[in-house]
Amino acid sequence: MRIALTPGDGIGPEIMQATLHLLQAAGASAAMEFVPVEMGKACFDRGLTRGMTDEAIATVEQCGLLLKGPMETPKGGGGKSINVTARKMWNAFANLRHFRTLPGVMTPYSRSGVSVDFFIVRENIEDTYGGIEHRLSNDVVQCKRLISAPGSDAVHRFAFETARRLGIRKVHCGHKANIMKMTDGLFLERFKAVAADYPEIETADVIVDALCMNLVMKPQQYRMIVLPNLQGDIVSDLAAGLVGGLGFAPSGNIGNHISIFEAVHGTAPDIAGRGIANPCSLILSSLMMLRHVGLLGSAARLENALLSSLEQGVRTGDFGDAAKPALGTMDFVREVAKRLGQKPATTPAVPDADDRITFKPPVKPFSAAAVHTFGPGTTEVVGADLYVDAAEGCQAIAASLQALAQGTPFRLKLISNRGTQVWPTGSVYTDCVDYWRARFERVEGARVTQPQTIDLLQRVAARYTVCSYELLRTFDGKPGFSMAQGQ
């Protein structure tokens, strides 16, 4: 197998060297050819806003696998996160992370005898991570949140298939559907629909803020949780804190064609070059990669050696028993390599297995695929939301908009500000900014079309700056839009 490899920035080259040393010691490297590709800070510094070269992109797409160290992303202006770009560009739609108590890694839970062992599956493509942002007025900026049925289906199916393969008998869906009834509501609805294909697996759903509290209070009640992108990102880092930090959190980004395995912690520039970094996160991520491609025996030998080392006090300076000597990065992995063939005594060993390569390089598709969940239904235009930039008060705006709608098949239904209705009813205690939603709905008995809503937009645009426009439609008779707070 050819595997694209990029060491990353900061401590990345050190922990990558250590990981490759272990893969070679375990015999896994005999089945793999690592192909270096250029990504990260050096690319950003040369003005490559994607953070990777064209050659790197071509190599990853040929290999179908990428092993990467931590990457530095420019803060503020400049390029976007290379981690997010890579996942989205190659449709690595499911982020899988395993959080568990490791021997020799002391946490409040391990000291209390509480064993943590659960997986988080995070949707990796959609949500606010589209990075679709606009400045709408002097005082207001927007980030557009997109959740799709096909994207939700894909990550849910991956979660259930992974649970089935691992023998996990219960999967939770984390969400905020009590507030975001359409976006998180769709994510939850598709979870329930996909779950019907896995009757042997018990399901439950939990609101994400309650989930965070539950994970801190009683993490052992969970085995697998599937979440939307942003919530999954936050909960994943919380979960890492339960088991000792991001240095012990492996990460695999799984797609139908291309998958990425990476360390998800930072680049730690303060210790870069000193040879003292903890390589466990990248080692654990490489174990996920071995299992992904079918090298189950190599993964078992290497994981058992790592667990044996940890339980015997082998450590780097950022964790473990202070009475034991802190080792540098390469000395740490040499100690792990010495224990290849050993099995841990204080924690369950990984069962022996055979290496049978199941991975095949991707066949490049002709073009990007269009995916669908629902077939064509009946849709009907019923109005439009026009978002206007205005410094006036809501009463003056309402009077003006009502006058502009005269002679059209629309009537002004409501005005809201930051999602809260302020006209025709509302509270004088609602502070308003310079960005207003004006909802126009068709008058009773009228049939309207999208061009008529565009005509209305042009009328309003002659008086106000229309920042954005949303068509209001019903889908099979159900409204495809939410109510305002207080409506």
For residue 314, is it within any domain?
Answer: yes
Q: What pLDDT, in 10s, does the model give residues 179-229?
A: 999 999 999 999 999 999 999 999 999 999 999 999 999 999 999 999 999
Q: Cα angle vertex 466, ends 462, 467, to 5°? A: 155
The single-letter DSSP state of residue 39 is B
Residues 385 and 255 in one domain: no
| Of the candidate ranges 34-38, 58-62, 69-73, 446-450, the one whose mean pLDDT is the lowest | 69-73
For residue 349, is it within any domain?
Answer: no
Q: Which residue segment(s) compose the domain that 130 sits in?
A: 2-338
| Phi, then psi, of 182 in degrees rounded to 5 | -95, -45
| Phi, then psi, of 64 in degrees rounded to 5 | 85, 0
Q: What pLDDT, in 10s, does the model give residues 349-401?
A: 999 999 999 999 999 888 888 899 998 889 999 999 999 999 999 999 999 99
Residues 246 and 109 in one domain: yes
For residue 352, is it within any domain?
Answer: no
For residue 362, is it within any domain?
Answer: no
For residue 251, is it within any domain?
Answer: yes
Q: What pLDDT, in 10s, does the model give residues 429-440?
A: 999 999 999 999
Residues 389 and 317 in one domain: no
**What is the model's pLDDT at position 49?**
87
Residues 388 and 334 in one domain: no
**What is the model's pLDDT at position 260?**
98
Give, in order, the Cα–Cα distances in Å from 486 to each of 239, 398, 424. Answer: 36, 17, 11
For residue 315, is it within any domain?
Answer: yes
Structural domain ending residue among the three candidates 278, 312, 338: 338
**What is the model's pLDDT at position 39?**
94
| Distance of alpha carbon 75 from alpha carbon 55, whole angstroms | 25
Residues 324 and 195 in one domain: yes
For residue 372, is it within any domain?
Answer: no
Residues 227 and 282 in one domain: yes
All residues at 6 or more sequence positions from 285 whose CB lies less than 8 Å from its CB, including other chains: 67, 250, 251, 252, 261, 262, 263
**What is the model's pLDDT at position 230?**
97
Residues 139 and 60 in one domain: yes
Q: What pLDDT, in 10s, does the model give residues 100-152?
A: 999 999 999 999 999 999 999 999 999 998 889 999 999 999 999 999 999 99
Evaluate if residue 259 carries a pLDDT over 70: yes
Unique residue bearing structure tokens 């207001």: 140
| Angle formed by the axes of helices 329-338 and 296-311, nearest 10° | 110
Mean pLDDT of the chain: 95
* Token couple for 292: 């992904």
Give, in order, the Cα–Cα distances in Å from 239 to each of 77, 222, 281. Answer: 30, 11, 14
**What is the model's pLDDT at position 78?**
58
Structural domain ending residue among the three candidates 307, 338, 369: 338
Evaluate if residue 79 carries a pLDDT over 70: no
Q: What pLDDT, in 10s, does the model give residues 43-57?
A: 988 888 889 999 999
> What is the number of domains present in the chain?
2
Residues 384 and 240 in one domain: no
Structural domain ending residue among the three candidates 288, 309, 338: 338
Nearest one of 314, 313, 300 to 343, comparing CA atoms: 300
pTM above 0.75, yes or no: yes
Residues 218 and 298 in one domain: yes
Q: Where does 79-228 have alpha helices with state H?
A: 82-89, 108-111, 149-166, 183-195, 208-217
| DSSP secondary structure string for all residues of 306-373 | HHHHHHTT---TTSS-TTSPPPPHHHHHHHHHHTTT---SSSPPPPP--B-----PPPPPSSPPP--S
For residue 419, is it within any domain?
Answer: yes
Q: What is the CATH number of the domain that holds 285?
A: 3.40.718.10
Residues 63 and 196 in one domain: yes
Residues 456 and 331 in one domain: no
Residues 98 and 204 in one domain: yes
**What is the model's pLDDT at position 487?**
85
Per-residue b or e along 430-455, where b marks 16 or more CB atoms closer than 10 Å to that residue's CB = eebebbbbbbbbbeeeeebeeebbee
Q: What is the CATH number of the domain that holds 428?
A: 3.30.70.1570
